[in-house]
Amino acid sequence: MTTHRRWWGLAALSLAVLALGFDLTILNVALTTLSTDLDASTSALQWIVDAYVLVFAALLLPAGMLGDRYGRRRLLLAGLAVFGAASLGGAYATGTGGVIAARAAMGVGAAILVPMSMSLLTVLFPPAERTRAVAVWSASMAIGLPFGPLLGGWLLEHFWWGSVFLVNVPVALLAAVAAVAFLPASRDTAAPPLDVPGALLSAAGLAALVFGVIEAPVRGWGDPLVLGTLAGAVVVLAGFVRWERRRDRPLVDLALFGDALFRRPVITAVWATLMMAGLLFVLPQYLQAVRGHGTLATGVRMIPMLAGLLVGSAVTERLTRRLGRDAVMAAGLAVVAAGFGLGTLSAPGSGDAFTAAWLAVAGIGFGLALIPAMDGVLARLPDGRTGSGSGLVQALRQTGAALGVAGLGSVLSAVYRDRVDGDAIGADVARAVRTGDAELLAAARDAYTTGMAVVLGGCALASAALAALLAARRADAPESGDEHAAR
């Protein structure tokens, strides 16, 4: 394949995952509108957001396996078709049930798209060019996360609520046309028979795990349903591991985790994703409820993190060649720790310049950590199993994202409620403004800022510790040599 055609193929993949990236966060700014226009309850609003994440995480592993067997481009096109059709259905749904169903169907499409697009990178690009390609692909998805609230806020100011769904349709169509024109057909001709029991066990276990994590902040970590669901997830996933170990050609090659050059990038990618998801949950509430910005203004003020991420992504290829992958991942996590550490100094009255500075630093760190991590994962996946391997890594990342939102959100909530006798920052600020209670308003904003500092500080310490561990283990010989040594 010519260089020109390869990069156009990458553009098609990047366009597809860009839509998925902002779709993970675009609805966060539309919930109030949906509550009013569709008379949606709090529970319904929660599932409008969570149905997508739950199905997405649960189906990533089986979808990756299907791509290896039946063709990665074919599955990519199927994923785009499902995602686009579900988005169209969501835009014109007449009730919350229809919107939730559409979001679940969008999760099916996303679960197909992500591992297929990631595995096609190994088909399109040789190792010498893959780091740059992974940087573009990863940045496209990461850009969508902070871009979601910005785009959602603009759409809601100019159009009706269905526009946050409808915007996906032309993107999916354009990506499908580009995929047909520029992506090669690719599959594993020696793929094993479908591992139906393994697929069912992995989907059920991941669905139960993500469901429990989603419900924990709402019901409490000690709630019987949460505990029962999480315990069931552990049992089912343990059964999945046992089943996979007995198969000659498993759905997931668990031996990969015995390879340090695979394990370390996976840990880095999952931890960086957890922190980014947690930040994107904590920060908008700080900017809106504490600082008093609207939805569109909040999206604008998250741009420095996006800019930092692009800067970090742009320099990873050169740094990785000079310093080695582990050193760059370690540096990235250290920079994230520095950015989060600065963020702990935030106050209710902090200016935009200070917030922009620490977000930009954190964004640079995310770019430096995530790009070499994803490239390292692809380098160690066996030929012909990139679909299932990519599905595994993305399933772990999505589970990490759910844990980041639930776990860090729970910590923040605990700190907040320890200082304010109220419900949540948004409700308390709205009540204080409505009643003119200046004391409650100040207390709520101070409490939330304190909780955010605790969350950011804990993440900074953990990131610094992981960075130190990676820096101490960076001397593996294959890292600077042939990336295909393990293939």
User: Does 205 score more than 70 pLDDT?
Assistant: yes
Residue 176 and residue 113 share a domain? yes
Domain boundary among 206, 221, 250: 250
Q: How many CB atoms lie within 10 A of CB 145?
A: 26
User: Does 176 score more than 60 pLDDT?
Assistant: yes
Residue 117 and residue 40 share a domain? yes
Confidence bin at 461 (pLDDT 50/70/90): very high
Residue 122 lies in a domain: yes
Confidence bin at 386 (pLDDT 50/70/90): low
Q: What is the mean pLDDT of residues 378-400?
A: 72
Residue 53 lies in a domain: yes
Residue 487 lies in a domain: no
Closest to 383 (Cα-Cα) out of 123, 99, 72, 64? 123
HSE-CB for 29 with a 13 A CA cutoff:
33
- In angstroms, the CA 143 to CA 202 distance is 29
φ, ψ dihedrals at 453, nearest 5°: -65, -40
Residue ranges making up the domain that contains 236: 196-250
Residue 189 lies in a domain: no
Residue 239 and residue 337 share a domain? no
User: Does 18 score more than 70 pLDDT?
Assistant: yes
Summarised one tens digit per residue, pLDDT across range 339-379 is: 999 999 999 989 899 999 999 999 999 989 988 888 788 77
pLDDT of residue 482: 40
- In angstroms, the CA 107 to CA 55 distance is 5
User: Does 11 score more than 80 pLDDT?
Assistant: yes
Residue 202 and residue 280 share a domain? no
Percent of the chain with pLDDT over 90: 19
pLDDT of residue 16: 79
Q: How many CB atoms lie within 10 A of CB 161?
A: 23
Residue 323 lies in a domain: yes
Residue 96 and residue 56 share a domain? yes
- For residue 345, give the CATH number of its domain: 1.20.1250.20
Residue 466 and residue 411 share a domain? yes
Residue 274 and residue 246 share a domain? no
Residue 190 lies in a domain: no
Residue 432 and residue 284 share a domain? yes
Summarised one tens digit per residue, pLDDT across range 111-155 is: 888 888 877 877 777 777 777 787 788 777 777 766 777 777 788
Residue 108 and residue 5 share a domain? yes
Residue 372 lies in a domain: yes
Confidence bin at 385 (pLDDT 50/70/90): low
pLDDT of residue 455: 92
Q: What is the mean pLDDT of residues 382-406?
A: 73
Q: What is the mean pLDDT of residues 210-225?
A: 81
pTM: 0.78
pLDDT of residue 120: 81
Residue 128 and residue 4 share a domain? yes
Residue 175 and residue 317 share a domain? no
The answer to whether the Cα torsion of 379, 383, 389, 391 is positive or negative is: positive
Summarised one tens digit per residue, pLDDT across range 223-254 is: 899 899 999 999 998 998 888 788 777 777 77
- In angstroms, the CA 359 to CA 342 distance is 9
- Per the structure, the count of domains in the chain is 3
- In angstroms, the CA 358 to CA 139 distance is 19
Residue 219 and residue 98 share a domain? no
The residue with greater pLDDT, 425 or 349, is 349
- Measured in residues, the chain has a length of 487
pLDDT of residue 332: 94
Residue 5 lies in a domain: yes
User: Does 33 score more than 80 pLDDT?
Assistant: no
Query: 10 near 139, Cβ under 8 Å?
Result: no
